[in-house]
Amino acid sequence: MAKYVSTSELTPYKVLFDNAFRMVQSEARKSGLTFEHHLVGSAKRNLVVEHPNKGFDCDYQLYLQKNTQNLSAQQIKELLMDLFDKYIPDSFNKCENSTSSITISKIIPTQSKKEFTYDIVILKDVDSIPQILRVVKQGNSLMYQWNKLPEMKHFIERFKLIQGPQMWDDLRECYYKKKMDKINGVRYHDKKSFQIFHEAVNETLQKFHI
């Protein structure tokens, strides 16, 4: 049975990521890249769902600040994957080059199932609109590109409109159902938790005619 994860269960993973990111950030700077990072979506709001066989995840955004050597989208992602492989403990799998993220999973060896996953998306702002680094398959090749995410621009302001126990209960229920759809492979195959969370917030506000 899936359940929400407690804050105490999440904290060690957050600390581990923060420590690794500081090392990644320091080395990336040598290649002319500077980033800031944010824990986002459900993990930031303590609304993380754990599946008994697929574990739980935390979504992070790495926001590109400077790219003084004009590295390509592919070079940026490959560099970050190499650095996270270097500084995330060996108990985690090597970075997976997912469509819209860097995915790093920890497997329970004795049970061959996931315990935990980091999903790390790479973003930059262009004219105040977030763009996400995505990988698209074209035949046998991979194309790296930046895609606009205009729906994210006003998310913080909209999230602040969630007020009162009834709205929070509805948001928790809405997000849980959507997350279970993703876990069970019903839909949201190519969406990260923070994107599903944004959708749940918008649907909750619509329900209350806001």
Q: What is the mean pLDDT of residues 123-146?
A: 90
Model confidence at 37: pLDDT above 90: yes
Query: How many domains are contained in the chain?
Result: 1
Q: What is the mean pLDDT of residues 171-192?
A: 83
DSSP 3-state assignment of 147?
strand
From CA 140, how far away is CA 84, in angstroms rounded?
26
184 CB burial (10 A radius; 0-12, 13-18, 19+): exposed
Closest CA to 43 of 21, 58, 63, 54: 58
From CA 118, how far away is CA 17, in angstroms rounded?
9
DSSP 3-state assignment of 54?
coil
> Tens digit of pLDDT for each residue in 51-76?
777 788 888 999 999 999 999 999 99
Domain membership of residue 108 (yes or no) is: yes
Would you say 144 and 135 are in contact if contact means Cβ atoms under 8 Å apart? yes
Domain membership of residue 205 (yes or no) is: no
Q: What is the mean pLDDT of residues 97-102?
A: 92
Q: 3-state DSSP helix/strand/coil percent for the chain, to nearest 5? A: 40, 30, 25
Domain membership of residue 88 (yes or no) is: yes
Residue 78 tokens read as 């490959």
- Give the pLDDT of residue 183: 78
Model confidence at 1: pLDDT above 70: no
Helix (H) or strand (E) holding 119: strand 113-126
Domain membership of residue 170 (yes or no) is: no
Domain membership of residue 169 (yes or no) is: no
Domain membership of residue 156 (yes or no) is: no
**If pLDDT is split at 50, 70 and 90, which confidence band does 44 have?**
low
CATH number at 14 reads: 3.30.460.90
Domain membership of residue 199 (yes or no) is: no
Query: What's the pTM value of the predicted model, to 2 decimals?
Result: 0.79
Per-residue DSSP letters for 57-113?
Answer: EEEEEEEEEEETT---HHHHHHHHHHHHHHHS-TTBPPPEE-SSSEEEEEEETTTTE
Domain membership of residue 154 (yes or no) is: no
**Crossing angle between the packed helical segments 193-207 and 164-183, to the nearest 10 degrees:** 140
Range of the domain at 119: 3-149
Instruction: Say which DSSP state 6 is in.
Output: P
**If pLDDT is split at 50, 70 and 90, which confidence band does 194 have?**
confident
**If pLDDT is split at 50, 70 and 90, which confidence band does 102 have?**
very high
Q: What is the mean pLDDT of residues 26-38?
A: 96
